[in-house]
Chains A and B, each alone.
Chain A
Amino acid sequence: MHRLRHLRAAVALAVLAPAVLVFLDFGRLLPAPVGPAVARLQLVPAIVRLPALGAIVTLVLILAATLVAGRVYCSTLCPLGTLQDLVIRLGDRWARRRRFRFRALPPRRLAHAAIAAAAFALAVAGSQLVLGLLEPYSAFGRILASAVRPALAEAVNGLSRALAAEHVYALQPVVRPGFAWDALAVALGSLAAIAALALWRGRLFCNLLCPAGAVLRLAARRTVLRIGIDEARCNACGVCEKGCKAGCIDAARRRVDFDACVGCFDCLDVCPHGAVRFGRFPPAGGRRVDPALRPDVDPGRRAVLRTAALAPAALLVPAAVRAGAADPRDARAPVTPPGSLARDHFTARCTACHLCVAACPTQVLRPALLAYGAAGLLQPRLVFDRGACVYDCRRCAEVCPTGAIHLLPLPEKRLVQVGRARFVKADCVVETKKKACGACAEHCPTKAIAMVPYPGGDPHLRIPEVNEEACIGCGACEHPCPTLPRKAIWVEARSPHGVAKKLAREKLEAPAAEADFPF
């Protein structure tokens, strides 16, 4: 095997392993910086994260590498690229198909650029609907977070229960991922589409739909080193073209469209004459593809149609913001995680990679198809049926690769008001049954909920009272509230987020050390 191909495969697998494991790391066994590191090296998340210094460094490194050696990014750092390669390899093996079955594809530069431009333009306008759907890291993340992780969790918990029945507690049950049918459907749908494209036409996704590929293509037009065909050695046998999953080699014309090359270096291996080389070649100019091969549809028009087809989705308004619902609890706006500053800030930057969804220890952070309407697809929000946002936790911000969730210092994070608790006295157990409850006040980490005497009741009976200044909207009250069918205390979203005031308290008197027991 050619050493470059060898190197490419080794780097790709070295990147893929932590990229996968970070989504499945229930026990947090991965060293802290490893998982998010892969996410932070991703092109589109870095573009979205601009102008952060780390994002600039990432982009400069990727662009420099591309200007030197072409789109090596697409076959090493991009986990969706590696995933496609694995699909092609396994698919061929399973179908006992020969490896050399590809053919030169029209470059479709305009179509690719148009789709990417539309995706980025929509993102700049505040909607991640298209960029989030096509961005390769996020598409990859959603597959792992919504399909693989829940399946693995069920397997682990099944085994854990079986062991616990034998009093073996070595394998602890894991938090069941907040499973969502819509997220699973999108994840499996995109996996099926990407796999089908890969099996049919190799890396067509990367050369038509991928926004990262479109950006890198621009840089890969003129590079220092490139794949070229040594005309003196080539006998135009065509094996390189058939082995090229990017469809960028036209063997008959001995031309390589290097901007479409994904840097897999497979072709270096297949040429029996050593005519395909990686080195200094003049850029291939002009049109490579025989006009007869060109499809008679206009790719630009196709891109416009594709964008137009996605537009109705952008017009969908979630039930949450429908006006005139009878109870505000049934029509609440989504609560965004602490550090996301405001709804607009969050939705303009979240590409829905679901790294935060996988990392969230209580699964309070969960995606919904159009929770934010046209602003994005499957962007997560806080839902309190399974748990609350942990007071001392910043996992979502630690892993977020796009800057949608900022990592605030912990004392600051503890004061971020993502929402405010709304108390519906008429539904509270104390009001309806005249019995003590107070689950909300127990769980409140800032003690923004006080239990105050219930007028006219038993002297021990107390009812919650919310102090809005101290409330951070974490949902620690809503989660344990026992009332049915609706919670008597619920979190109303705040946007932009506010800053809570810590509860003022008097200093406690230390008890006298020598005092006797009072009984």
Chain B
Amino acid sequence: MDRRQFIGSAAAAGALLALGDAGRALAAGGAPDLVAAKGGLPDALFDRAIEELGGMKAFVKKGQKVLVKPNIGWDVGPERAANTNPALVARIVEQCLAAGAKEVYVFDHACDDGRRAYRTSGIEAAASAAGAKVAPAYDEGAYQKVKVPGKVLKEAKVHGLLLEADVFINVPILKHHSSSDLTIGMKNLMGVVWDRSFWHRNDLMQCISDMTGFRKPDLTVVDAYRVLKRYGPRGIDEEDVVELNAQLLSRDPVAADAAAAKLFGAKPTEAPYIRIAADDGWGRRDLEKLNVKKVQL
């Protein structure tokens, strides 16, 4: 490399850094800010959508440790749409391993008894079969105290695997939620901390935004295959579920939630934490200004 070439590439790198998210998109070959796919099974939707973002290799490098964090909050089966679809979790795990990941970890600090939720959700079995290490998150010993640069949340006990992971893929399910209107990606981050009651006691909405800033997911995959339309986040039975057969992918956790909120039939501002997180600078909710790629299977 001669001097001119060096300066040129340094300038290009600087420009990319300055451009931030858009720069990274450029680096990934002009990948869209958000991919919205519909009309297929969860695993097929993911295969198609991740291609639009440059494939799993754009996220996972050889030898890296990956954390795939689904929603495994509840002791109910996949038909109830209260937990992430197990086939989607399994496919993401497979793709990570195919991209060269050394280890893929899956966990969630469930709301119901974790052992039961892991089993009933079907995620433990599906992810293990796909090659993931499904780690328990129902034992306080797995958590480590960290400082959080938040406005309300100043410290939290987070799962050690979040701290270890090179790549963090958040795989929430889109649901109605009685407390926060909706639960999507950012709300799903409650499952990496031990003491959730602190959040509930001290401004839940701000804490959701604070945790987003602690470790922004490298990729958010919103499962909107089956969607719990009411009585969330747990639902009463299958009568509360509709099939949307959709999926959203984004590197931007706020954009993913904002788009999912619209897909649900709400304004992105209706879940207050989406506005708070955008104002806190963790991502964008102005969907009309984003490069959205829509895919129909």
A and B assemble together: yes
A residues apposed to B, CB below 8 Å: 157, 160-161, 164, 167, 169, 172-173, 175, 361-362, 387, 390-392, 429, 433, 435-439, 441-447, 449-451, 458, 460, 462, 480, 482-484, 502-503, 505, 507-511, 513, 516-519
Task: Indicate if the CB atoms of A164 and B242 lie closer than 8 Å.
Answer: no
Q: A437-B200, A511-B242 are in contact. List 9 more A-B contacts (CB 8 A).
A: A161-B142, A433-B202, A438-B180, A439-B197, A480-B200, A482-B197, A505-B236, A508-B240, A508-B242
B3 close to chain A: CB less than 8 A: no
Task: Indicate if the CB atoms of B178 and A451 lie closer than 8 Å.
Answer: yes
- Give chain B residues whose Cβ lies under 8 Å from the Cβ of A442: 111, 177-179, 232-234
Task: Indicate if the CB atoms of A503 and B236 lie closer than 8 Å.
Answer: yes
B108 vs chain A, min Cβ distance (A): 14
Known interface pairs A172-B115, A435-B203, A482-B201; A510-B243 also in contact (CB < 8 Å): yes
B225 vs chain A, min Cβ distance (A): 12
B262 close to chain A: CB less than 8 A: yes
Quick one: CB contact mask for B182-217 with A, threshold 8 Å, 1 for yes?
A: 000000000000001110111111000000000000
Task: Indicate if the CB atoms of B240 and A392 lie closer than 8 Å.
Answer: no
- Give chain B residues whose Cβ lies under 8 Å from the Cβ of A167: 103, 133, 135
- Give chain A residues whose Cβ lies under 8 Å from the Cβ of B234: 442-445, 447
Interface of B is mostly: mixed
Task: Indicate if the CB atoms of B263 and A169 lie closer than 8 Å.
Answer: no
> How distant is the Cα of A511 from the Cα of B181 in the complex, in angstroms?
20
Contact of A164 among B38, B141, B196 (CB under 8 A): B141
> How distant is the Cα of A518 from the Cα of B233 in the complex, in angstroms?
23
Task: Indicate if the CB atoms of B236 and A446 lie closer than 8 Å.
Answer: yes
Contact of B202 among A435, A443, A458, A513 (CB under 8 A): A435
Cβ-closest chain A residue relative to B275? A460
Task: Indicate if the CB atoms of A508 and B115 lie closer than 8 Å.
Answer: no
> How distant is the Cα of A458 from the Cα of B276 in the complex, in angstroms?
14
B78 vs chain A, min Cβ distance (A): 15
A28 vs chain B, min Cβ distance (A): 10
Task: Indicate if the CB atoms of A447 and B236 lie closer than 8 Å.
Answer: yes
B259 close to chain A: CB less than 8 A: yes
B287 close to chain A: CB less than 8 A: yes
Cβ-closest chain A residue relative to B38? A517
Q: Which of A362, A502, A508 has the most CB of B within 10 A?
A: A508
The 26 sampled A-B contact pairs (Cβ below 8 Å) are: A169-B133, A169-B135, A172-B115, A173-B139, A173-B141, A361-B113, A433-B203, A435-B205, A437-B201, A442-B111, A442-B177, A442-B233, A447-B231, A447-B234, A451-B179, A480-B196, A482-B198, A482-B201, A503-B231, A505-B240, A510-B243, A513-B245, A517-B262, A518-B265, A519-B259, A519-B288
Closest 9 CB pairs of A and B: A438-B179, A482-B197, A173-B139, A482-B201, A441-B178, A482-B200, A161-B141, A447-B231, A435-B203
> How distant is the Cα of A437 from the Cα of B272 in the complex, in angstroms?
13
> How distant is the Cα of A119 from the Cα of B197 in the complex, in angstroms?
46
